[in-house]
Amino acid sequence: MSQASVHRVVIVGGGFGGLQATQNLRRADVEITLLDRRNFHLFQPLTYQVATGALSPGEIAYPLRAIFKRDRNIRVLMAEVTDVDLDARELRLSSVAGVPAPASIPYDTLIVSGGSRYSYFGHDEWAEFAEEVKSLESALTARSRILSAFEAAEMEPDPQRRESWLTFAVVGGGPTGVEMAGQIAELARDTLSRDFRSVNPRTGRILLIEATDRVLTSFPPSLSARAERSLERLGVTALLGRTVVGVDAEGVSVDDGNGSVERIPTRTVIWAAGVTASPLAAKLAERSGAELDRAGRVTVEADLTLPGHPEVFALGDMVRVRGTDGVPRVLPGVAPAAMQQGRYAAKAVRTRLRGGEAPPFHYRDKGNLATIGRAAAVADIKGLRLSGFIAWITWLVVHLWYLVGFQNRIVVFIRWMFSFATHGRGARLITEADAKRCPEP
């Protein structure tokens, strides 16, 4: 490692991995620059609640500068990383939202935690019609679309078209898909049940389309079955073993695997399937010669560093980690995995600065949680399988605990208690800026 006056660590990404890396280096004798395209940390496990009007953006996002305002050795920089020069040890930057950015920034140690996004199975043209809910912006767009669909149904005289406005298709039976389907069902059945005069939102169809034969494949089959029963009680129809083969403004086409393609008329499609790593993974692979898998993840060594570049760490759901047996593995794309890796990278840097050598990264599975709806969740914690109310309380406590910002925790807690008691959702706003998309230039 270079022995400049002060060791410069550049951390890319203010998500769970980058935030933990930064927090665990704040006391070290290093100069840190934390780079993100946004000025806030997003508590991504709750974006689906913004998409369904249960929470407001400010309640699950927290300014990065505020988190590190007392740490004089940490700079936060709002910029986009476009490339990395591993030889010169520099990142190339471009500006975001009109904020000027330097053309490049040098590092002694680089920690990249760029995350992932949903992939549209190679059909990027579907993105226009099928909104995902991973970013705050997309969650707000999804919110406007879901709420507008009910408004449109209320106004639509033609029964067939009205039905397609009241049909919601969620693609992908993972935790986000299950949560979105459950929340849309609750929105239709409880929150909005009395809001309309011409239509009854309770008659809305909520479909959850999943390619495999069960939802929540990262859970044991028994919990998948319980989740499916909870979804059914909420009024969600799970279409299992169905692959989406087409999405447009008026519906989705699904293939049942036996050569028969069904057309489902719907005006609202939420996408929560497939996953593709941040383009930074490909850049790192290209520059270092590291392996890249089909989902765009770069393979890192057992100590999370790039092959041949011990000064570059990459982590989170943009990487596969090579085990001590030499086999690359995909870790679960959940917050705890990214957080453990972020903490590990920070510790590895501190160890090296003292002249030591870090042991390989070891992932500790803390368990798996998914919520379906009101008082319904599933949890698989080291073999302990919970469902129903107990799992839901566990989910609630864990999510409140990890939510950044003491004030946000209280506000979110109050919103949840109110929603639970009244079935209400305060933040169901349709704003033009979110609903509108700019025309192609």
Point out which residues bind a second copy (CB under 8 A). 38-40, 53, 55-59, 61-63, 65-66, 69-70, 72, 75-78, 96-102, 136-137, 140-141, 144, 147-148, 151-152, 154-156, 192, 194-197, 405, 407-408, 410-411, 414-415, 418, 422, 424, 426-436, 438-439, 441
Q: Measured from the CB atom, is 61 or 391 closer to a second copy?
A: 61
Q: Minimum distance from CB of 174 to a second copy (Å)?
A: 25
Amino acid, res. 162:
R
Tokens standing for 60?
């699950």
Q: Does residue 278 contact residue 318 with C-beta atoms inside 8 Å? A: yes
Catalytic position from the list 59, 131, 156, 179: 179
CA distance 72 to 346: 18
CA dihedral 274, 279, 285, 286 (to 10 degrees): 130
Q: Measured from the CB atom, is 325 or 432 closer to a second copy?
A: 432
Q: Minimum distance from CB of 151 to a second copy (Å)?
A: 4
Q: Measured from the CB atom, is 148 or 243 closer to a second copy?
A: 148
CA distance 32 to 9: 5
Q: Minimum distance from CB of 413 to a second copy (Å)?
A: 10
Q: Minimum distance from CB of 102 to a second copy (Å)?
A: 7
Q: Does residue 342 contact residue 350 with C-beta atoms inside 8 Å? A: no
Q: Minimum distance from CB of 437 to a second copy (Å)?
A: 9
CA distance 210 to 419: 28
- How does strand 90-94 pair with strand 104-106? antiparallel
- How does DSSP assign 73-129, residue by residue? TEEEEE-EEEEEETTTTEEEEE-BTTB---SEEE-SEEEE---EE---TT-GGGGGT
Give every CB contact of residue 93 below 8 A, 6+ residues apart in sequence: 35, 79, 80, 81, 82, 101, 102, 103, 104, 105
Known catalytic residue: 179? yes
**Residues annotated catalytic, as ranges:** 179
